[in-house]
């Protein structure tokens, strides 16, 4: 493992109880930092924080609800004193259905968590980062936001919107010490696979020239670098982790 420098800094990782969020939190801690895991599953987040050690904390947060996020910001600052990095990792896939069969309520849930959640968390955390004069925001998008996966219209649309939000916010903050970027992984084996049909999993694998899925550790390494001081001239950018699938 390459040594990245996040020493003395504190990060918030949404959806940190499992999957990519947990792996990212683990890498940030290994790089010298501390983390607060925001997750709507309080019990799972507490267990994950305990397993990660004394520099990990947990808060129950519904990222789609502004009052919940505002309360979490206050709670995080009360414990850690600052928020140096925000990693928006919370997300859901939604059903694998054709658009004309897609339930409206399911569409709204995907958008509420995947897109509204990123917007609300950025909205509530950016003022604190502006006061500090420094910060890093990393949003977890997806190659589906570039390609548009069939039978995943809500997920694909939400991730495309996350990329656009990242670019807008990155430009708005370009003259500050805050950098805003996103990563666009191809499929990575996480608990999200439990929400997918076997046919959809096979379709995703068929699109990856490397012939394998990505790993949590590979995504965590890229995200951790984007949270460091070394990421100084990249902002409003989308970083691919697609095994050769993305060609633009």
How is the chain split into domains, by residue range?
10-241
CB 142 within 8 A of CB 110: no
The confidence score (pLDDT) of residue 225 equals 98
Q: Residue 183 forms beta bridges with which residues?
A: 140, 239
Average confidence (pLDDT) over 101-130: 98
Pick one of 3.40.50.720, 3.40.50.300, 3.20.20.70, 3.90.1150.10 as the CATH number of 10-241.
3.40.50.720
Report the run of H or E that residue 169 belongs to, with start and end: helix 153-172
Q: Say which residues have a Cβ less than 8 Å from residue 194's Cβ, sequence separation at least 6.
A: none
Alpha-carbon span 94 to 31, nearest angstrom: 33
Q: Which residue has the higher pLDDT, 6 or 242?
A: 6
Alpha-carbon span 229 to 107, nearest angstrom: 37
Percent of the chain with pLDDT over 90: 87
CB 220 within 8 A of CB 19: no
User: Six-digit token pair at 243?
Assistant: 């095994």
Average confidence (pLDDT) over 92-105: 96
As a dihedral over the C-alpha atoms of residue 25, residue 89, residue 191, residue 27, rounded to 10 degrees, the angle is: -20
The confidence score (pLDDT) of residue 195 equals 75
CB 224 within 8 A of CB 6: yes
Average confidence (pLDDT) over 107-129: 98
Q: Residue 209 forms beta bridges with which residues?
A: none
Establish how many alpha carbons lie within 13 A of residue 24's alpha carbon, considering only the half-sphere containing its beta carbon: 35
The confidence score (pLDDT) of residue 248 equals 62
Residues catalogued as catalytic: 155
Strands 85-88 and 237-241: unpaired
Q: Say which residues have a Cβ less than 8 Å from residue 42's Cβ, sequence separation at least 6.
A: 58, 59, 60
Q: Which residue in this structure is represented by tokens 């955390």?
A: 125
Phi, psi angles (nearest 5°) of residue 22: -65, -45
The confidence score (pLDDT) of residue 106 equals 98
Exposed / middle / buried, residue 232 (Cβ in 10 Å: 0-12, 13-18, 19+) = exposed
CB 41 within 8 A of CB 22: no
Is residue 1 predicted with pLDDT exceeding 80?
no
- Give the SS3 label for residue 39: strand
- pLDDT one-digit tens code per residue, 167-203: 999 999 999 999 999 999 988 887 777 777 888 888 8
The confidence score (pLDDT) of residue 2 equals 83
CB 103 within 8 A of CB 51: no
Single pTM value for the model: 0.95
The confidence score (pLDDT) of residue 199 equals 86
Is residue 247 predicted with pLDDT exceeding 70?
no
Q: Which residue has the higher pLDDT, 190 or 235?
A: 235
Average pLDDT, the chain: 95
- Residue 3's pLDDT band (cuts 50, 70, 90): confident
Instruction: Please give the DSSP secondary-structure letter assigned to residue 25.
Output: H
Percent of the chain with pLDDT over 70: 99
- pLDDT one-digit tens code per residue, 14-69: 999 999 999 999 999 999 999 999 999 999 999 999 999 999 999 999 999 999 99
């Amino acid at each position: 493992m390459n040594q990245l420098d996040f020493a003395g800094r504190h990060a918030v990782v949404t959806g940190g109880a499992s999957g990519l969020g947990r792996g990212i939190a683990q890498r940030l801690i290994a790089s010298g930092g501390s983390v607060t895991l925001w997750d709507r599953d309080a019990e799972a987040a507490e267990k994950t924080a305990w397993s990660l050690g004394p520099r990990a904390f947990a808060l129950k947060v519904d990222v789609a609800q502004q009052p919940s996020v505002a309360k979490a910001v206050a709670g995080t600052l009360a414990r850690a004193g600052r928020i140096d990095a925000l990693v928006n990792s919370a997300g859901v896939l939604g059903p694998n259905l054709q658009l004309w069969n897609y339930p409206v309520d399911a569409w709204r849930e995907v958008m509420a968590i995947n897109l509204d959640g990123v917007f609300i968390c950025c909205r509530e955390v950016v003022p604190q980062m502006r006061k500090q004069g420094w910060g890093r925001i990393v949003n977890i998008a997806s190659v589906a936001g570039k390609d548009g996966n069939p039978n995943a219209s809500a997920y694909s649309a939400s991730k495309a919107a996350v990329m656009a939000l990242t670019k807008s916010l990155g430009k708005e903050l370009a003259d500050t010490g805050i950098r805003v970027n996103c990563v666009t992984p191809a499929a990575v084996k996480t608990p999200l696979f439990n929400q997918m049909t076997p046919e959809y999993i096979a379709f995703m694998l068929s699109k990856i020239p490397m012939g394998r899925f990505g790993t949590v550790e590979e995504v965590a390494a890229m995200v951790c670098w984007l949270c460091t001081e070394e990421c100084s001239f990249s902002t409003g950018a989308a970083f691919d982790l697609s095994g050769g699938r993305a060609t633009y």
